């Protein structure tokens, strides 16, 4: 096993360097679990933590998932950090969550993490770059193949970075951010939502930061859209947005369904973007996975700025499946 490589210059980096070396050569070498990991959790319910607002913390909650596919094409999607199987003593399995279609048929992958200083503060312009072969094999897919969701444990990556005297800074989500049925029922039909990701592959490569996008709920998040554990948002969903977490964020205060003003922040992880309807030449509307690769699109296929979101309760299903595989 070779060591983690520092991130090369931003220009021309991406997947171009995947063929230049590998950190983990196979799944056995990569390993599965590292449960005694203590990542910095996302601190919800506070105005300011460690000098950062909630929105500033969110900038460290996602990662750009870069892929080189078996057909030679390249693409990217969005992943976010989550704590699986968290125990009362704070032990957990750290994972990245994204869509299956982001990593399907990928032979090589690349992840870029932000470093920390000796005091645990992020060094935004200093990164650790991990090229990963056999990329698709490192992900565990939701047991229902109709659910476009998967997770990759990253404990081995965190530990490998430590062995190279590098510490990774990130903010991970936990179950406290997943809305209950009661919380969903108390939402209004029209809520502002934000989406975090790497639209069209665009990112702040110097500071390793994603982009915020804003929209509204197009269907009520409490209801299962067309009988599936999904809902729809009105937001522009372009290539690279696949796997983006979708939130309700009220950074300082909000009003509830009854109109009561609550002087506290609110953050709910509603779900994960995966697809959107498009018009075809015949005037039909088809549901198309948000692509990972930018390519010419025929004029007869037109996105209509709507996105389908997998409800976050599917994360719990995936977590339980992983736990059964790991005998935890």
Give tens-digit pLDDT for 158-206. Answer: 988 988 899 999 999 999 999 999 999 999 999 999 999 998 888 999 9
- Of 192, 231, 258, the C-alpha closest to 312 is 231
Q: How many CB atoms lie within 10 A of CB 15?
A: 19
pLDDT score at 15: 39
State whether 291 and 155 are in the same domain.
Answer: no
237 has pLDDT over 50: yes
Tell me the DSSP string of 194-213. EEEE-GGG--BTTTTB-EEE
State whether 208 and 232 are in the same domain.
Answer: yes
What is the Cβ-side half-sphere exposure of residue 7, based on CA atoms within 13 angstroms? 25
State whether 167 and 228 are in the same domain.
Answer: no
pTM to 2 decimal places:
0.83
Mean pLDDT, rounded, for 122-144: 95
- Of 270, 269, 268, 267, the C-alpha closest to 46 is 267
pLDDT band, residue 23 (cuts 50/70/90): very low
Q: Of the candidates 175, 197, 227, which is a domain's last residue?
A: 175
Residue-range definition of the domain harbouring residue 122:
5-175
Cα distance between residue 275 and residue 36, in whole Å: 35
Percent of the chain with pLDDT over 70: 75
Q: Mean pLDDT: which of 19-33, 211-225, 276-290 is highest?
A: 211-225
Mean pLDDT, rounded, for 303-327: 92
320 has pLDDT over 50: yes
Q: Of the candidates 175, 197, 231, which is a domain's last residue?
A: 175
State whether 22 and 105 are in the same domain.
Answer: yes
pLDDT score at 242: 87
Q: What's 255's domain CATH number?
A: 2.40.10.10
pLDDT in tens, 55-84: 999 999 999 999 999 999 998 999 999 999
């Amino acid at each position: 096993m070779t060591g983690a490589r520092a991130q090369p210059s931003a220009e021309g980096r991406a997947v171009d360097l995947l063929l230049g070396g590998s950190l983990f050569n196979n799944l056995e070498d990569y390993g599965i679990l590292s449960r005694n990991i203590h990542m910095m959790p996302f601190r919800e319910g506070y105005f300011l933590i460690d000098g950062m607002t909630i929105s500033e913390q969110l900038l460290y909650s996602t990662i750009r998932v870069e892929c080189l596919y078996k057909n030679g094409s390249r693409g990217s999607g969005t992943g976010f950090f989550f704590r699986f199987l968290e125990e009362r003593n704070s032990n957990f399995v750290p994972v990245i969550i994204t869509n299956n279609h982001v990593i399907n048929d990928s032979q090589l992958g690349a992840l870029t993490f932000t470093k920390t200083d000796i005091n645990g503060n992020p060094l935004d312009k200093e990164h650790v770059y991990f090229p990963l072969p056999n990329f698709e094999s490192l992900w565990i897919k939701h047991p229902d193949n109709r659910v476009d969701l998967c997770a990759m444990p990253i404990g081995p990556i965190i530990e490998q970075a430590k062995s190279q005297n590098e510490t990774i800074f990130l903010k991970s989500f936990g179950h406290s951010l997943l809305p209950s049925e009661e919380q969903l029922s108390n939402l209004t039909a029209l809520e502002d939502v934000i989406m975090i990701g790497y639209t069209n592959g665009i990112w702040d490569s110097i500071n390793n930061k994603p982009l915020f996008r804003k929209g509204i709920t197009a269907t009520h998040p409490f209801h299962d859209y067309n009988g599936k554990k999904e809902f729809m948002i009105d937001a522009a969903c372009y290539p690279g947005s696949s796997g983006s977490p979708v939130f309700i964020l009220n950074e300082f205060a909000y009003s509830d369904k009854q109109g009561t003003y609550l002087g506290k922040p609110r953050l709910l992880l509603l779900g994960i973007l995966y697809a959107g309807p498009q018009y075809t030449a015949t005037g039909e509307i088809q549901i198309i996975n948000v692509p990972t690769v930018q390519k010419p699109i025929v004029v007869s296929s037109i996105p209509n700025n709507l996105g389908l979101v997998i409800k976050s309760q599917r994360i719990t299903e995936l977590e339980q499946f992983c736990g059964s595989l790991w005998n935890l």
